[in-house]
C-alpha cells in the first residue's frame, strides 16, 4: 500500500494482535464466545461422565450430550440475537 492511498478500514489495520481482535469481537457480540465456551464445557463434562454412565448405552449418552451442547450453543446465539435486537430497536431513541 503506497503512503498516498487512504485505508478503507483503518480500525482493522491498527489492531494487529489476535488478542485485541478477540476483545473487540467479544465487545461487539458477547454471546458468541459465551456459547462457544458453554459448548466446550458441556463436551468436557460429557467426556468426564462417560466413565460413570452406569448401565446407560454409549449411544444414548452421546445423544444426550450432543443435544445438551447444541442446546447451549443455540440458546446463547438466540440470546445474542435478542440482545442485539433490543439494543438496536428498543435501546435507541426513535429518530
- Provide the domain count of the chain: 1
Q: Is 7 contained in some domain?
A: no
3-state secondary structure of 92: coil
Q: Is 47 contained in some domain?
A: yes
pLDDT in the model for residue 49: 86
Q: Is 68 contained in some domain?
A: yes
Instruction: Check if the beta carbon of residue 65 is closer than 8 Å to that of residue 73.
Output: no
3-state secondary structure of 86: helix
Residue 49 and residue 64: Cα distance in Å, rounded?
Answer: 12
Q: Is 4 contained in some domain?
A: no
pLDDT in the model for residue 8: 62
Specify the pTM.
0.59
Domain range holding 27? Answer: 18-91
Residue 93 reports pLDDT greater than 70? no
Question: Which of 14, 36, 49, 48 is closest to 80 using CA atoms?
Answer: 36
Amino acid at each position: 500500500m503506497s503512503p498516498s492511498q487512504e485505508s478503507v478500514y483503518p480500525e482493522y489495520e491498527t489492531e494487529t494482535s489476535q488478542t485485541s481482535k478477540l476483545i473487540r469481537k467479544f465487545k461487539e457480540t458477547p454471546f458468541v464466545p459465551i456459547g462457544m465456551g458453554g459448548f466446550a464445557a458441556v463436551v468436557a463434562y460429557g467426556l468426564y461422565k462417560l466413565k460413570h454412565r452406569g448401565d446407560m448405552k454409549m449411544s444414548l449418552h452421546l445423544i444426550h450430550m450432543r443435544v445438551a451442547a447444541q442446546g447451549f450453543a443455540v440458546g446463547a446465539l438466540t440470546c445474542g440475537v435478542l440482545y442485539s435486537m433490543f439494543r438496536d430497536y428498543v435501546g435507541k431513541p426513535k429518530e
